[in-house]
Amino acid sequence: MKAVVTGCAGFIGSHLAETLLLAGSAVTGIDSLSDNYSSRAKVGNVERLRKWDEFEWSELDLAQDDLDGRLEADVVFHLAGEPGVRTSWGRRFEVYERNNVLATQRLLEGLKSQPATRFVFASSSSVYGQAERLPTPESTTPRPVSPYGVTKLSAEHLCHLYRHTFGMDSVVLRYFSVYGPRQRPDMAFHRFCLAALENQPITIFGDGRQTRDFTFVSDVVAATTAAAQASVASGQTYNVGGGSETTLLDAVEIIGELAGCALDVRCQATQVGDVRSTGADTTRAEADLAFRPATTLTDGLAAQFRWIQEGLRDV
């Protein structure tokens, strides 16, 4: 397979690109190396990928740069975008609109002449908002409660629009709370593990009893690669979740056990745009993609904890 991975320098994108390369695929990685978090981490991810002869690197801004000749592939995995619910309010909405909506539209425009190329779009459980049903099936009407969720849903609509208008081959994946090694430093588990290792307090927004369907990154990658190959997936939308709903306090308890100490947990007010609970009904993904999450939260957190621990040793 010849693949393009946008956002290849990021958390999930670097894991996906690495998995494709290990499977023998040729991969063109695209990333703008934006400054939404440490460029050092992103550059490190790219350098890891450049060890493969089958990897081609392009530093591009999808919302601005010329994409002619850059998208020739069997499949384009679109993982690039502006992440984060809490920072999507106010003046920064323009950044989200540009990097999540405009960038997706320009990719789709660039692929109109390649109807045989499958377009796999990484969306988010944030499109559901305060879901009325848990676990939540894909048939649930999306009602995002953050500007971030609005932009991801808008990009989903663009995928469906270009499919129906131009016959493009697209698949939408809604990721639920992805975690694991290389996770962004602003995300909860990264912050919690680092605080535990440095004997610092852990801050939770809300009472800690809110639940999430945490999904380990290798399970997300497995579902994403399956979506590229399953013929029945064309035109479909799939939830990709970890298989169980867990409270933040229960997750913190696991991290405390990994650290071998009691953790100082401090709760603050719930942030605007945060939802109470998420849970993925993955029946459709199980049927069409043979997707079943393989990593328990305990094992996944242990892997992430070790990764952060090793990173501190290297500093």
Q: Is residue 16 within 8 Å of 7, Cβ to Cβ?
A: no
Residues 236-287 have pLDDT tens digits of: 999 999 998 999 999 999 999 999 998 999 999 999 999 999 999 999 999 9
Structure tokens given for 92? 């920064």
pLDDT of the residue at 37: 86
What's the rounded Cα separation, in Å, for the pair 153 and 160? 11
Element (H, E) at 27: strand 26-31
Question: Residue 12: helix, strand or coil by DSSP?
Answer: helix
Instruction: Pick out the chain residues at pLDDT < 70.
Output: 314-315
Domain boundaries, the chain: 2-177+216-242+279-294
Question: Residue 3: helix, strand or coil by DSSP?
Answer: strand
pLDDT of the residue at 36: 87
**How would DSSP label each residue in 51-67?**
TSTTEEEEE--TTTS--
Which CATH number is 2-177+216-242+279-294's, of 3.40.50.880, 1.20.1440.230, 3.40.50.720, 3.40.220.10? Answer: 3.40.50.720
Contacts of 210 (CB under 8 A, 6+ apart): 247, 248, 274, 275, 276, 277
pLDDT of the residue at 315: 47
Catalytic, out of 37, 96, 128, 148: 148
Helices (H), the chain: 11-22, 39-49, 93-96, 103-111, 147-166, 188-197, 217-229, 248-259, 283-289, 297-314
pLDDT of the residue at 102: 98
Q: Is 128 a catalytic residue?
A: no
